[in-house]
Amino acid sequence: MPFKKHSRQYDLVVFGATGFTGLLCAEHITTHFPTDLKWAIAGRSAEKLQNVINECKSLNPDRQQPAIEICSLNDADLGALAKKTFILITTVGPYAKYGEYAFKACAENGTHYFDCTGEAVWHMAMIKKYEATAKATGACLFPQAGIESAPSDLIAFKLASVIKSDLSAPVKDVVVSMHDIRGAPSGGTLNTVLSLFDIFHWKEVAKSHKPYALSPVQNPKRPPKPSLLSKLTGLHSISNLGLVSTSITGGTDAAVVQRSWGLFKQEPSLQKYFYGPNFTYREFMRARSYLRGMAMHYGLVIGGLLLMFCSPFRTMMRKFVYQPGEGPSREDQKKEYIQLRGVATPDIPTETSKQAFCKAEYSGGMYYLTAILLCQGALTLLQDDLELKGGVYTPACLGHGYIDRLNDVGFKFETRIVNA
């Protein structure tokens, strides 16, 4: 499939290619993208960037290697880089600390953009500051397009699609669960978590996790109220998902899924995907037992409070984590695995025993999965006619072509109608 025509020097630039996730992006592009791609890798050190090229050359020696762009974290350098490329992928974080330069540059210069932040509070700030600019320049910006929060967003999209196609109905309640995960966070991720409350006040973080905080329109519909026992223990029993507990990424992912709902309702080119007026979303993590599920819940509650209100705790934790740019070894990444499951009920006036079920799974490194999500999202934007005007979008806005590409490179989605 040919790339879209444009006047920029590059189709794609990976900014932060010497970092842990950025290197994986460069490797994925080298092994999976069409060879006529015009691309570059960008960062501050020419020597380190050359090492990335050498690494890529060992994976595919016959492919034309990327150009090198020297770029520091400032408005002038990022503005100049953004003008050269059709799409910019940035893996330079923590985004709350370093991400605004690239986001601003792309919004102002009409450059499409992907990142892998998990910082919903920063995402909310960028929408407020730059969405109007992006709409004026035509830049399509896709924050939170890595493992947070693309999988959850795409599962909700797939569930809604199968309910529409097979049951001819809009969607009511969607529940997603992290069914299984084996993997370790990188230094960049850990330092993002530890630095977030040094940059944003806890009230700002809490505000970004309120229902529909990122959505362009509000939805008065709320999920079913939990029982008193669920409030006390954090445990829920969900049909076809089993026993689940509180998810560490639930609030962050929900913010993106709810923004998708709002964009699908508001944007004319996306209204064909609208989930329905009574849509709700919840996210959990599978609990292997009642005791472990309660421990997960209270561990997250207590840990979250310590991160928010105890600066010495954050300082202490920094001594025990990977440093930025570091992460699991290649051998350890090969052993990693993730599986998410989701269910959705149709919004119909009569009781039904049918619901949609989706399973999404990937065998391999979690950070390579993030690289896949970023790069295949960029490829979708390069090749597909999405009818997107400028603005801040979500992974689900890339549509079915994005999911098809992910299936082709190992992130498998399986969706069907089941009995509730």
- Report the distance separating Cα 149 and Cα 28, nearest Å: 20
pLDDT at site 408 = 98
The per-residue DSSP string of 223-262 comes to: PPPPPHHHHHH--EEETTTEEEEE-TTHHHHHHHHHHHHH
As to burial, measured by CB atoms within 10 angstroms (0-12 exposed, 13-18 middle, 19+ buried), residue 304 is middle
Under a CB-based contact definition with an 8 Å cutoff, are residues 49 and 18 in contact? yes
Q: What's the token pair of residue 282? A: 């919840």
Task: Give, in order, the Cα–Cα distances in Å from 76 to each of 72, 169, 176, 210, 297.
Answer: 9, 50, 42, 35, 45
pLDDT at site 328 = 79
- Report the distance separating Cα 213 and Cα 238, nearest Å: 26
Under a CB-based contact definition with an 8 Å cutoff, are residues 256 and 152 in contact? yes
- Report the distance separating Cα 172 and Cα 164, nearest Å: 11
Taking alpha carbons only, the member of 70, 67, 62, 75 closest to residue 31 is 62
Q: What is the dihedral of CA 301, 210, 151, 376, to 10 degrees?
A: -130
Under a CB-based contact definition with an 8 Å cutoff, are residues 140 and 393 in contact? yes
Under a CB-based contact definition with an 8 Å cutoff, are residues 254 and 282 in contact? yes
State the alpha helices, DSSP H only, in 85-216: 95-98, 100-109, 120-137, 150-167, 187-199, 202-208
pLDDT at site 334 = 85
Under a CB-based contact definition with an 8 Å cutoff, are residues 297 and 235 in contact? yes
pLDDT at site 324 = 63
pLDDT at site 329 = 83
Q: Are strands 280-286 and 354-363 parallel, antiparallel or unpaired?
A: unpaired
- Cα angle value 302/304/306 (rounded, 5°): 70
pLDDT at site 167 = 94
pLDDT tens, per residue, the chain with 420 residues = 899 999 999 999 999 999 999 999 999 999 999 999 999 999 999 999 999 999 999 999 989 899 999 999 999 999 999 999 999 999 998 899 999 999 999 999 999 999 999 999 999 999 999 999 999 999 999 999 999 999 999 999 999 999 999 999 999 999 999 999 998 665 556 667 777 888 888 899 999 999 999 999 999 999 999 999 999 999 999 999 999 999 999 999 999 999 999 999 999 999 999 999 999 999 999 999 999 999 999 998 898 888 777 778 777 777 766 666 667 788 888 889 999 999 999 999 888 889 999 999 999 999 999 999 999 999 999 999 999 999 999 999 999 999 999 999 999 999 999 998
pLDDT at site 186 = 56
Q: Which helix (H) or strand (E) holds 11?
A: strand 10-15
